[in-house]
Amino acid sequence: MKKVKIYITLRESVLDPQGQAVMDSLHNMSYEDVKDVRIGKYIELEMEDSKNLTNRIEEMCEKLLANTVIENYRYEIEEGVTQ
């Protein structure tokens, strides 16, 4: 088994109003050194290992998990718990 960790973030060109609101709040708390906040999603999959594992992950990201019009994704594959 593999554990797949997928990180989805808004593209650089897309405004992140949620991140902006959080940054304003951090500034109000006097964390003035924060220069940007981007909020994204983190998804964990447990998958059977296969030769085309990366292809399958990318396919799932492109089709459903991320909307590539506004989002970027990256992923890491780790050894999962042996069942």
Partner 1 sequence: MKTAVIVFPGSNCDTDMYCAIKEGLGEEVEYVWHDDSSLDGFDAVMIPGGFSYGDYLRSGAIARFSKIMPAVIQAANAGKPVLGVCNGFQILLEAGLLPGAMLRNKKLKFICKTVPLAVENAETLFTAGYKKGDIIQIPIAHGEGNYYCDEKTLEQLQEQNRIVFKYHGNNPNGSIDNIAGIINEKGNVLGMMPHPERAVDMLLGSDDGLKLFQSILQHWRESHAAVTT
The footprint of partner 1 (CB under 8 A) covers 10, 13-15, 17-18, 21, 41, 64-65, 67, 69-70
CA–CA distance, 51 with 23 (Å, rounded to integer): 42
To partner 1, the closest distance from the beta carbon of 7 in angstroms equals: 14
Q: Are 53 and 78 in contact (CB under 8 A)?
A: no
Distance CA 71, CA 47 (A): 23
CB-wise, 24 or 49, nearer to partner 1? 24
Shortest Cβ 82–partner 1 spacing (Å): 29
